[in-house]
Structure 1
Amino acid sequence: MIVSGGRDAPASTPISAPGSQATVATPPRTDPVPPGPSPTVPAGAAVTPRPGGITTPSAAIDLTPPDGHGPARKAAWGLAPAPCTQHEQQLVDLDTGESRVEREGNGAVANPGGAELLYWPDTCTGIGDYVLRALPNTRVGLLRADAPRTAEACKAAAGTGFAALPLSEGRDTKERGFTVGAAVCAVTADGAVAMALIDHMSGGATTDVSVSGNLYVWPQASNQGLVP
């Protein structure tokens, strides 16, 4: 397991200027997209899946900030399970996409530290052990793949809740809508709206599932310059 740094480490880059297509700028993160016409990120070129995985280019995303929020910043997020015998659980902070691990506690968390998601080995049978859920007292939900990819839709989805989901159970994940093309949405502890796209999944019934994708974060207007 590779553990990223603390919450103060930069983990995002600003989105390209409004009205532009397809490119992501790389100036300092203190120079986000200025307000303007509704920018979008169009569908990307075809992506070759990793062996055993499913990958899809991201559909068009409307980057218009919701009321009371600033321009979007882009980062990445993921779930990367360790062997259950290591007795580790992964916590993911959707303000930045950063993850860290702590000692596995049967789904309980000793130090949430601003994280929104927990990924932990539930049974340690060696076959699809890991379960994903939102941490208590967080606003997290799932934006289904057929829903509009807007900050407002994501903010609304964040209020629907995200109960424990064993990602190795393919039928359960499909019925719940946790599929490639969907997104995990949150209104974070810092007041940001976060859209964590599910761009790639690998694993299945006999192996624990890894997930990765782009993360778009619209910081609360009062926190601009304070949220990484």
Structure 2
Amino acid sequence: MAGIALPLLGIVASLVVGMDRDDASPTVAAPPSSSASSDSVDPASSEEPEPTATTTTPASDDKSEAPPLDPPDSPLPSGSGGAASKVDLAPPQGHGPARESSWGLVPAPCTNYEQQLIDLDTGLSRVEKEDNGRIEEPGGAELHYWPDSCTGGGDYRLRGVPNTRVGLLRADDPHTAEQCRKVSNTGLPPLDLNDSETTEQAGFVIGAAICSVTTEGAVAMATIDHINEGGFAGENTASGTLYVWPKVS
């Protein structure tokens, strides 16, 4: 009997140990089913993924696209709405390449009794006391801007300095140094820049130019790129680009 009992106890002990090991092993959770996974997705993030394939976008018909750039040889727009004429920079015979700078007319109030003298070799201007239109010292200037009266508007006049070669190149004339030299013999009589009818008839408009063979023998072309009406001190002002072909000695 004792011999039979011992094997039975061994079998019972083995069964108990096996049951303990089964209880201690971790439980592996089953993977969620596809239906459960889709039910737990946030509706706000349920958008379809963007396609990865490369697509070709057709040309847009949007009319708001930027316009093409102007061709390089087109005239440049001026600040007052006109168009500045294109200048041929080829030097005339006996002259060197053009120098480029700026020029302008900006008068003082007439009660200052000042006149402005402009040297077209450089574009620089200076002032001296006004003496009823008389010039004390020209100093190489070609343009004279002085107060002819003092009534509060349209007081100033522009003219070529006496004994200089100054003329007006019209806007539709070829803007070449040779043409500028020719018109410099025509003279520039006194002009009231506030009288638009008179200045237009004379050809003093945007796109035109004041031309001179200067006291130094250079050919100068002062293009009229801007005319500002009722500018400083109630006077119309003008300004632009100055091209100077210096004389070759």
Give the TM-score range, shorter chain.
0.7 to 0.9
The equivalent of 1:150 in structure 2 is 176
1:169-193 CA deviation, whole Å, 9 max, x = no partner? 1111000000011000000000000
SS of 2:127's equivalent in the other structure is strand
CA distance in 1, matches of 2:169, 2:214: 16
Aligned runs of 1:117-196 on 2, under 5 Å?
Answer: 117-196=143-222
Gap runs ≥5 in structure 1: 1-20, 23-40, 223-228
Aligned position for 2:68: none
**Contact 1:55–1:201 (8 Å) recurs in 2:** no
Equivalent in the alignment of 2:241: 214
- The answer on 1:96 being equivalent to 2:122 is yes
Q: Give 1:87's aligned residue.
A: 113
The residue aligned with 1:43 is 75
Match of 2:75, as an amino acid? A
Contact 2:83–2:206 (8 Å) recurs in 1: no
Is the contact made by 2:85 and 2:171 (CA closer than 8 Å) also made in structure 1? Answer: no
Which structure shows the bigger proportion of residues in helix conformation?
2
**In structure 1, the residue corresponding to 2:234 is in which secondary structure?**
coil
CA distance in 2, matches of 1:129, 1:171: 16
Spell out structure 1 runs of 4+ moving beyond 6 A: none
1: distance between equivalents of 2:246 and 2:74?
22
- 1:166 alignment partner, SS class: coil
SS of match in other structure, 2:120: coil
| Amino acid of the structure 1 residue aligned with 2:245 | W
2: CA distance, partners of 1:71 / 1:42: 22
RMSD over aligned CA atoms reads 1.9
Match of 2:136 in 1: 110
What is the match of residue 38 of structure 1? none
Which structure features the higher share of strand residues? Answer: 1
CA contact (8 A) 2:115 2:145 kept: yes
The letter of the residue matching 1:214 is T
**Which of 186-195 and 199-208 deviates more?**
199-208
Structure 1 distance, partners of 2:126, 2:81, is 24
Aligned partner (choices 195, 198, 206) of residue 224 of structure 2: 198
- Structure index of larger Rg: 2
Aligned CA distance change for structure 1 residues 191 and 55 (closer, same or farther; 3 Å) = farther
Change in Cα spacing, 1:173 to 1:63, as seen in structure 2 (3 Å) is same
For 2:74 and 2:176, locate their aligned partners in 1 and report how far apart those are by CA, in whole Å.
13
- Deviation for aligned residue 1:55: 4.5
Q: SS of the counterpart of 1:70?
A: coil
TM-score (norm 1): 0.74
Distance 2:197 2:75 in 1: 27
> Are the equivalent residues in 2 in contact too, given 1:42–1:61 (CA < 8 A)?
no
| CA distance in 1: counterparts of 2:216 and 2:191, whole angstroms | 25
Of 75-84 and 206-215, more deviation after overlay is shown by 206-215
